[in-house]
Chain A
């Protein structure tokens, strides 16, 4: 069909060309389609079925309270979503199952989310879910049960280089590209991933295709929120789970400015809710520059100090074969992206060691605003995702908050 996968080809005994995958039914694979209940995963599964593969649909039960019906904004594990996924599988004529990963989701995603905030960092739970649940727990179980690959409705592309090694690339539609939240996948995971929506020019076409295929979810709204915080009030949700203790607010030079209600309630870049009570000397608004949970301090300062151009990332991972510069430690030119829909920024990047562990350094040629530790820095060359690392520090070359250490 039109828009069928260009080069999504999970591992096999031999390298498959895109053409072979589309037409040669002798390479029919056992495919597990992860079905969220949304339109993207339904169309992705439909394309896998149409390509002649043996497809089974699986919905992940992630919530500890699977019996909830959606009322406000979307959560990802409601009865309604499970039923939508079930109905999509009915339409496609494939079996449907629910797999319960709620324990792992709680341990690896929800608890981790809380721990990261407690440590003063700003995690991305969707990325974490891809890393630990969809492409680890689900994928590992699928492989153990005899499946060749997992299909999802993500907008990203898996290609192979001349040596047959997998690479992760951006999707054709920049607006929908989800390569950022997949940047954490490693080569062994990508080997078994197939994203059939990689080349779809726009989401509107996916909806039209769903309509044409008779899928009831064609007009279902997209999900945007963190699925386990359905009302979208992340601060309120965290406040119920993290004990807050009052502490001091200091400026960028270490001067005491007043009391805060608890460091964990703040995030880098935040302006409102500081309640300092007296204006800055220059009369300009002050922003949170750094959260220091160990000292229970919040560092604030002028907006320009939020502009950072020096990033250090830890726990790097490689989305395919590691770039040659990983071994040499040389600087290379790359693009750095720090949020799901942020503009990538040109930078020079090198892999090295920090405190005896692998790390990544990036010197941006422009600057980024409000980058918080805990976010993932995903590295690109062109459309290719090289990999990512968790941001350990982000600062301006003009001011490093860590220098405050002595002053405090």
Chain B
């Protein structure tokens, strides 16, 4: 390849920030379990509580509303399963779950599991072609089924397309209907301004490694009146809702990363958005038939995400060709065996299964440069052309 490796998959994970790295290195030698009652234990406890307070302050919530978890997936599971179980205990008839079809698999598969094993009923609210919530349909479901809804959930920003939902609006509607709202805010935190303390929001999932923190630590923002049934039992940590020895170094690094990301959000978002706009116009001009997904309104999309459909060019083949050219991109969803399926997000926005296989996500972040965009714009037309040629070639031969 004629360029340095190009990383355009920041939505999957983004490099550790300097602030987070420094916090980790400083405390790697720490001894002491935050639950221990001796001196080293108290030191560890102090560090983790300081991290919690700093992180909560950076996110605009109270420290007691922040539970450390292992990451976004665990937070979504705890919020949805735990709330579903808790609400059904109070009202056995409340088995409904309101969601959209574009949720992350950590939400979708959790709800699916509750449907298959716990008697839940899913109410899937439709989306517009831009991926925005059909608000009338959401309200209608709340009106029709509010009495039997255990929980509602709406992701703040979509991980594939980058559509930013109006979560405060949905939280207000859910509050009025008396239904807790959970939001997967993993992709939104640190990238667009969000208010996790918004009225009616019962819980939200966030993760460190999407904002420059380390992998392996996340948080569940949980309003004080929420008492989900815990998934794991043990030492009674985190309001007795999430037992397990606290990850002191991870918490400190998460706090440092969040402070840096949130303090510089506006400037960094503007820088990344400008790069992204060059990428988008370059792709639309340079690749025949390219279609940009998501809302036209710049305020309703993540600054670093550009998601395209290239009809006739299978996403995994584009990824393959770009990867061989030293450019890392994503089709958005992959199963455990490494097979890319059609994008459930695009299909929930009305795309055909065929088009939903022909997608590619490029996501920019802190380390992205104009050179990255140039390298992509140079390689992409060839990659898409090759994928278009390979699609029919791997189809059935006529003879």
Contacts and interface: CB of A to CB of B under 8 A. Distances in A.
A255 interface: no
A61 B320 contact: no
A79 B394 contact: no
Interface stretch (B6-14, B78-86, B115-123, B331-339): B331-339
Given A56-B324, A136-B397, A145-B321, A98 B337 contact: yes
Nearest to A136: B397
A351 B23 CA distance: 78
A102 B394 CA distance: 12
A84 to B, nearest CB: 12
Interface string B311-323: 0000011001101
A146 B386 contact: yes
B335 A140 contact: no
A144 B337 contact: no
A145 B317 contact: yes
Nearest to B319: A97
Interface in B350-399: 386, 389-390, 393-394, 396-397
Contact of A79 (B316, B336, B397): B336
A99 B390 CA distance: 12
A329 interface: no
Contacts of A102: 339
Contacts of A98: 337-339
Contact of B316 (A99, A107, A136): A99
B326 to A, nearest CB: 11
Interface string A49-67: 0000000100101000011
B387 to A, nearest CB: 8
Contacts of A104: 394, 396
B277 to A, nearest CB: 31
Given A141-B394, A144-B386, A144-B389, A100 B339 contact: yes
Contacts of A144: 386, 389-390, 393-394
Given A67-B335, A79-B336, A100 B316 contact: yes
Contacts of A97: 316, 320, 323, 338
A354 to B, nearest CB: 19
A31 to B, nearest CB: 13
A137 interface: yes
Given A97-B320, A145-B317, A66 B390 contact: no
Interface residues of B, number: 19
Interface string A331-359: 00000000000000000000000000000
A138 B397 CA distance: 12
Contacts of A140: 390, 393-394, 397
B337 A66 contact: yes
B177 interface: no
A144 B384 CA distance: 12
B113 to A, nearest CB: 14
Given A99-B316, A144-B389, A144-B390, A82 B324 contact: no
A61 B339 contact: yes
A145 B390 contact: yes
Contacts of A66: 335-337, 339
B335 A143 contact: no
A95 interface: yes
Interface residues on A, range: 20 to 34
Contacts of B336: 66-67, 79
Contacts of B338: 59, 61, 82, 86, 97-98
B340 A137 contact: no
Given A56-B324, A95-B323, A97-B320, A143 B337 contact: no
Interface in A215-269: none
Nearest to A30: B324
A95 B319 CA distance: 13
Contacts of B386: 144-146
A146 B393 CA distance: 12
Contact of A100 (B340, B390, B393): B340
A108 B397 CA distance: 11
A87 to B, nearest CB: 13
Contacts of A143: 393
A107 to B, nearest CB: 8
Interface string A65-107: 0110000000001010010001000000001011111101001
A101 B335 CA distance: 15
Contacts of B335: 66-67
Contacts of A137: 394
B155 to A, nearest CB: 24
Contact of B337 (A61, A101, A108): A61
A56 B324 CA distance: 9
Nearest to A66: B337
Contacts of A108: 396
Contacts of A86: 338
A138 B390 CA distance: 10
A116 B336 CA distance: 33
Contacts of B320: 97, 145
Contacts of B390: 140-141, 144-145
User: Counting chain A CB atoms within 10 Å of each CB, which of B317, B340, B394 scores highest?
Assistant: B394
Given A95-B323, A144-B386, A145-B321, A79 B393 contact: no
A79 B337 contact: yes
B70 to A, nearest CB: 22
Contacts of B317: 141, 145
Nearest to A86: B338
B29 to A, nearest CB: 32
B329 to A, nearest CB: 13
A171 B190 CA distance: 60
Interface string B294-326: 000000000000000000000011001101100
Contact of A141 (B323, B340, B393): B393
10 contacts: A97-B323, A98-B339, A100-B316, A102-B339, A104-B396, A137-B394, A141-B394, A145-B320, A145-B321, A145-B390
Given A79-B337, A107-B396, A136-B397, 18 more contacts: A61-B338, A67-B337, A79-B336, A82-B337, A82-B338, A95-B323, A98-B337, A98-B338, A99-B316, A100-B340, A101-B394, A137-B394, A138-B394, A140-B393, A140-B394, A144-B389, A145-B317, A145-B390
